[in-house]
Structures are given as C-alpha cells and as structure tokens.
Structure 1
Amino acid sequence: MVAFQGSLFAAPGGRYARVAMNTPVRREFSYHIPKHAEPVEPGCRVKVTFGRRPIIGVVVAIDDAPPSGVEVERIKDIDSCLDVTPLVTPALLRLSRTVADNAYCSWGQALAAMLPAALRHDRTRRTIPTVELIYSPAAEEMQSLEAKFPKQAKAVAYLQQAGGPMEVREFCNRTGLSKSPLTTLNKKEWVKFDKKADVLNPFAAVEL
C-alpha cells in the first residue's frame, strides 16, 4: 500500500491498481494486483488491507509500474476483487472525482456516497424466489383444471409459455395472480420453487 496522487486514468492492463477508499485521507493508494485477483479494472470494488484492517475500496486507475521511487516490496497485494465487471462506470468515476474536488472530501468518500450500504460492505448478492413448471398436463387434465380451478390453469398455461424458471414476483405481476395457485400446484408436484442468486448493481440503468 502506497499513497499516490496522479491523473484520473493510467495505462490499462498493468499490474498495480490505484484504490480510492472511504477515508478522510485525500489520496489514492497503490496496490499490487496478484493473479488470483484478476480481472481488475477501473470501477471494480476490491478488498484490501489498509493498515491492519480489511477495507473495501474502488479501483480508479491501473498502472503498469509502481509509483516512482517506491520499493515494490512495500506495496501490498489486493486481497480480492469483488466485481466480475466494473460496478462504477468511467462517467461516474469522473463525476465522483469532481464531487470530491468541490466538496473537499476524498475520492473514496465521494464514491462511497454513491454506493448503497450493501455495496460498501460487500453484501452484493441476494436470492430471488423462482418457479418452474415440471409437469406437462394432458389436454383432458387442463380442461378439468380450467373448469374446477381456473387460477391454477392460468398459472400452468403461463408457465408453459415461459418455457423455464421465472421469478415469482414477475409471475405475479404479469398474470395478476397471487402466489396461492403456485403453492397448490407445488403440492401437486406440478411446479417447483427454487432460488437464484442475483448481483446488486444500482448503476445498471444509469447512462451518463
């Protein structure tokens, strides 16, 4: 770990990352990128050791050499990269830098203000309930179901069109049905419930 101040973006594809952290220190810190942490790009969150404590920071630039005059042995490794693809876009990196300069705070503090608490503390994954049709009823069964339990029949027909698992919330929103018909169909072993992991990205729809 080495304190560093420099330009916004350096040459890509290097082996050292400049990391902005949520601390009052108005500097970025240089860390070595080990192979196990790759790929690391500007905008990715990384877990590093700052002093003696673990902390999450945002990579703001990649360098192909350590800071001038600094011994390589003094630079710590990044512990892990938390994002497969950059979470913070180049436009948001520039915006946060402008905010930091105008508000007299560190770049890391400006970035932290943009991130939900879950992303500042590596709680980026959630599980989403899904439902899938696992039994294909014959035409006679569907006719009987439509006559006796029209909501269940509507649920089966929609899941047949879906052709695979879908989120329970999306199913309810699109069909206007509650979860109750699905619960009954699950007891009949016509559908199965499951969960899928999802990665939170609050900037997925942001365009700057």
Structure 2
Amino acid sequence: MTVVPDEHLMTLICDACGDSVQASACVLPDAEVVWTLISEQGWSGSPFATGPHRCPHCSLLPVSGGGTTRRDDHGPGGILGIDHLDDVTIVVATGDIDLDTGDTLRAALCHAADMGGHVVVDLARVHVIDSTGLGLLVRAHRDARDRGATLSLAAPSRFIRTVLHTMRLEAAFPVFDSRDEALAQLSRKTTADSAATPAIASARSGR
C-alpha cells in the first residue's frame, strides 16, 4: 500500500523519494480508490491505493539509468494517428496513457476540439490508464459536452473498463466495443439531430 487511509484522511507516499502528503479525499467507492486525492495534489500514478505513485517533483525526474518510471513492459505510449470522418475526429492512442504521454494526448484532444465535431478516442491498443490520463479524458468530455458534442471511448481493455467502473466514470462516457460501433451510433445521433432541427424551427415559426 502506498496510500494509508486513516479516518477521513489519507497519506499519499511517493514511491521514488518517500515524500508524503496527508489530505482528506472523497472515497469512490472505497479506500482503494485514491484518484481524487492524486489529482488534487498534482501527483501522478495509479488511481488505486496500491500504486505506483510519484510526487510532483519526482514525476518530472528521469529514472536512474535513463528512461522514465514504468512498472510494466507495454512499451511507449502515444498517439498512432488522428483521423477525420465527416463531423467526427478519431484519436487513436497506444501504449500507456500516463504522465509520460499526457502532453501528446492533450494535444490530440485539443486538435479534436478545434475541429468542432464529435470525438472518438480509440483505446484498442491502450494497456493502462492512470490518474493523468483519466483527468485528460474527463476534461475533454466536459469540453465536448459544453460545445454540444460527444466524446466516446472505443474498445477499452478490461482493465480500463474496470478503472472506469471503479471510479464511477463509466456513465460519464459513451463506451463502445469497437470504433465502428461508436461511429455508427454517432452517425445515427447526427441524423436524428438533423431531422429534429427543421421540426423545431417549424414549431417556433408557428407560434
């Protein structure tokens, strides 16, 4: 355990330097879930208490011997490509979505938002997502909603689905088994919205 719960407080311990911070955290839904604490304190790492976690200072430091901190061997993460199909931008991610790849995903999501349409994040090749990645997706989802668009997740792994379920975020995003399924649903939504617009205009003119 790298997070120690005590009544309404939790102690977050850095796996790199041993530094710690104690703060209250919203527990969702149990003491194993510490994503809110990590996000509020600016730390990086797993959304679960079992870690790994790094303090803001150590998150910026390279690991001795080169490279960055990684507890698996999934290979480097990043963005494989950004595709545009009608009014949908598809962001294809790969590897691990974490602190190391956060800037790349953030840039891709900003580009998708600039396009103005719906967004599909293809997670078929993504193995792990940490608190940094979750935060980016949540913010991008809210931005899409504010401009009347939808951000969907396609083909998430079993691990990512578990994370979303545990964090109670599965209802926040439309989640589909494949990219094609997500695109088909968005196409039906666009068609329905287009059909509804003339009817609304007609009803207003008849007042």
Q: Compute the TM-score of the two structures, normalised by the length of structure 2.
A: 0.29
When Rg is computed on C-alpha atoms for both structures, the one with the higher figure is 1
Which of the pair has the greater relative contact order for Cα pairs under 8 Å at 6+ separation?
1
Structure 1 or 2: larger helix share? 2
Q: Compute the TM-score of the two structures, normalised by the length of structure 1.
A: 0.28
